[in-house]
Structure 1
Amino acid sequence: MKASRWARAAALLVLVGFTASCGLPRVGPNKREIYSGSVQREGDAFIVSVNDRVTRATAVVPALGFSAAFRNAGIVGSDTIRPGDTLGLTIYENVDDGLLAGQGLNATMLEEVQVDGAGFIFVPYAGRIRAAGNTPEAIRRLITERLADQTPDPQVMVRRVAGDGATVTVTGAVTQQGVFAIERPTRTLSAMLARAGGVAVEPETARVKVIRNGHTGEVWFEELFEDPQADIALRGGDRVLVEADTRSFTALGATGNQTRVRFETQTISAIEAIAQVGGLSPTTGDPTGVFIFRNEPEEIAKQVLGRTDLIGAQRLVYVLDLTEPNGLFLARDFVIRDGDTVYVTEAPFAQWSKALSAVSGTLGLASSLASIADNLNNN
């Protein structure tokens, strides 16, 4: 009788093992299958266990910043008028029937008076006035002098408005896109972005690009306030583009959520990436099998593998074991990069649990069918 029970138990174990090796549903490859694809086993990927040296060699973040040409450009005097600038003029006359004002009015507004290519503007009764190279105040005095002989005590106001001269185009993820004149309060990049209403995305992941004469520079928005040199002086014709960071990684396997995840900060560690998708599944996740799949550039791959014979980008699979004494520290220090795939394998017992459930369900169904058959035979 005892031998019979042992035989049935052994048969059950064999059945469970067979069932576990068959097509039970699972989240992806197990550790054994991943390791079988290593270069050491004639695969095409290098399997690397993460340690302190590996975390240092792979801690690469996007290199953003302005070149010396951008940083060394001094602040332009915002009061200096240039060809292409557009001016707004208001002329007050001290008589009811003046030269320029309509009947019953004593003020005339001339909007969008553009400075021509030669640097002049034309004002009725004052003629051609040299504007380029002068300040609005100097232009005001010139116009006043020309009109003083024709109308008593003229009062003139000159202001610069957006036009084709010293202006900057601001587009992208800002509150107010548009073309803005470089004025005294808006001569630097941060001030111009404030003039455009500020960024319309999370400041921590906002990237600011400046295009000038065919050259491009880019910085993180927050860097404008952390590094004074990053807050560059603007030039007429600059184009400013604000974009949200588009970097992302993919989380798969036995995690709380399997999805493509956008970066929420400028840098993100492996432990933060796992936390962003709900952590390891408490019922199936294997803390000894956290893998990061990445195409590593040649120079970094050489440092990680300690080899000099590699050519081109290499497929690397980094392995984290969170159960090791320093496993969580390594996961905290390992930097996730754009395009990475973070994959968590299932714990071995998870497949056995599935197999047991499948076998139990099968045996229960067989028992139910046998009972039905016995009832039919008895009737």
Structure 2
Amino acid sequence: MQRSYVVNGEVGTSGRKPITQAGDRILDAIANAGGARQATYETRITLQRGSKQGSAIMKDMIDNPAENVFVQAGDRIYVTKDPEIFLAFGAVPQPGPIEFGLEKLTLLEAVGKAGGLLDQRSDPGAFFVFRYEPESAVRQMKPDYQGSYGAKVPVVYRVNLRDPKAYFYAKGFTIRDRDVLYVANSAAAEFKKFLDILGSVRNVANTATDAVNLPKQLSGN
């Protein structure tokens, strides 16, 4: 009996495929099924092997060959669209979840995807980005951090585009999957409103960071 695996989802031809004599890795299996329909950076590959399963974004699998394991008989491979998104709130024309649509998205590009700024309301001095950072990164930014959050620390970055230097930082600030972007109406009152939206005013405020002072962090280096 010929050994085989199954590929389903966002590929050219779903179905059962034979394992070749030389053996097939996951990316080979997807190629044999006609390739992925979506861009590699928004394609999630899930491998189910018996009662176990694991998944990865296709681009990450390409960049990290160790994740591109050999397929075994009976494996099931699911290929799905899983675009990176960020959430936009505040003084932007198009609030809500927004797909990156790009392999890499900067803060300025994210503002553009949210429709730009509302001239009558937005404060260019008060852009905020919320995300969870590794504890090691937080300690680099705040050496006095007491380590009260565990491995992932909630952090708010503020960018003041009234400062000419901040424009170049914003061009290098890379938005990550599930980041929250908030464009304020006024720097003081709206920052608290943003923290209220996040639902953890006191805790998040303790790790708020002014991005103007972090050119290395914002450049992605």
Identity, % of aligned pairs? Answer: 27
**Matching of residue 329 in structure 1 with residue 168 in structure 2:** yes
Give per-residue Cα distances to partners, 1:304-332, cap 9 Å, x unaligned: 32224121154432100123222122112
> 1:229 deviation in Å?
5.7
Aligned residue among 118, 123, 127 for 1:286: 123
Q: Highest CA radius of gyration, 1 or 2?
A: 1
Alignment RMSD (CA, Å): 3.0
Aligned residue among 260, 267, 277 for 2:97: 260
Q: Is the 8 A contact 1:209 1:241 kept in 2?
A: yes
> 1:291 deviation in Å?
0.9
> 1:206 deviation in Å?
1.0
Q: Provide the residue aligned with 1:303 in structure 2.
A: 140
Aligned-partner residue type, residue 244 of structure 1: K
Aligned-partner residue type, residue 168 of structure 2: F
Aligned residues: 185
CA 176–336 in structure 1, closer or farther in 2 if over 3 Å, else same = same
Q: Is the 8 A contact 2:43 2:83 kept in 1?
A: no
Q: Is the 8 A contact 1:273 1:336 kept in 2?
A: yes
Q: Provide the residue aligned with 1:233 in structure 2.
A: 70
Q: Is the 8 A contact 2:159 2:166 kept in 1?
A: yes
Distance (whole Å) between structure 1 residues aligned to residue 146 and residue 121 of structure 2: 40
**Matching of residue 169 in structure 1 with residue 1 in structure 2:** no
Aligned residue among 26, 31, 36 for 1:199: 36
Q: Is the 8 A contact 2:88 2:95 kept in 1?
A: yes
Distance (whole Å) between structure 2 residues aligned to residue 203 and residue 257 of structure 1: 26
CA 316–281 in structure 1, closer or farther in 2 if over 3 Å, else same = same
Q: Provide the residue aligned with 2:158 in structure 1.
A: 319
Q: Provide the residue aligned with 1:26 in structure 2.
A: none
Aligned-partner residue type, residue 291 of structure 1: F
Aligned-partner residue type, residue 100 of structure 2: F
TM-score relative to the length of structure 1? 0.42
Distance (whole Å) between structure 1 residues aligned to residue 146 and residue 61 of structure 2: 41
Q: Is the 8 A contact 1:186 1:195 kept in 2?
A: no
Q: 5+ unaligned residues in a row in structure 2: which ranges?
A: 188-221
> 1:199 deviation in Å?
1.6
CA 310–226 in structure 1, closer or farther in 2 if over 3 Å, else same = closer
Distance (whole Å) between structure 2 residues aligned to residue 220 and residue 295 of structure 1: 20
Distance (whole Å) between structure 1 residues aligned to residue 54 and residue 148 of structure 2: 30
Give per-residue Cα distances to partners, 1:157-216, cap 9 Å, x unaligned: xxxxxxxxx211212322332221112587233332122222233333112233446665
Distance (whole Å) between structure 1 residues aligned to residue 76 and residue 103 of structure 2: 24
**Matching of residue 210 in structure 1 with residue 47 in structure 2:** yes
Give per-residue Cα distances to partners, 1:100-151, cap 9 Å, x unaligned: xxxxxxxxxxxxxxxxxxxxxxxxxxxxxxxxxxxxxxxxxxxxxxxxxxxx
CA 291–223 in structure 1, closer or farther in 2 if over 3 Å, else same = closer
> 1:273 deviation in Å?
1.2
Q: Counterpart of 2:148 in 1: which secondary structure?
A: coil
> 1:296 deviation in Å?
4.0
Q: Is the 8 A contact 2:138 2:145 kept in 1?
A: no
Distance (whole Å) between structure 2 residues aligned to residue 174 and residue 338 of structure 1: 24
Distance (whole Å) between structure 1 residues aligned to residue 54 and residue 84 of structure 2: 18
**Matching of residue 188 in structure 1 with residue 25 in structure 2:** yes
Aligned-partner residue type, residue 164 of structure 2: P
Aligned-partner residue type, residue 342 of structure 1: L
Distance (whole Å) between structure 1 residues aligned to residue 83 and residue 70 of structure 2: 27
**Matching of residue 249 in structure 1 with residue 86 in structure 2:** yes
CA 244–183 in structure 1, closer or farther in 2 if over 3 Å, else same = same
Q: Is the 8 A contact 1:207 1:243 kept in 2?
A: yes
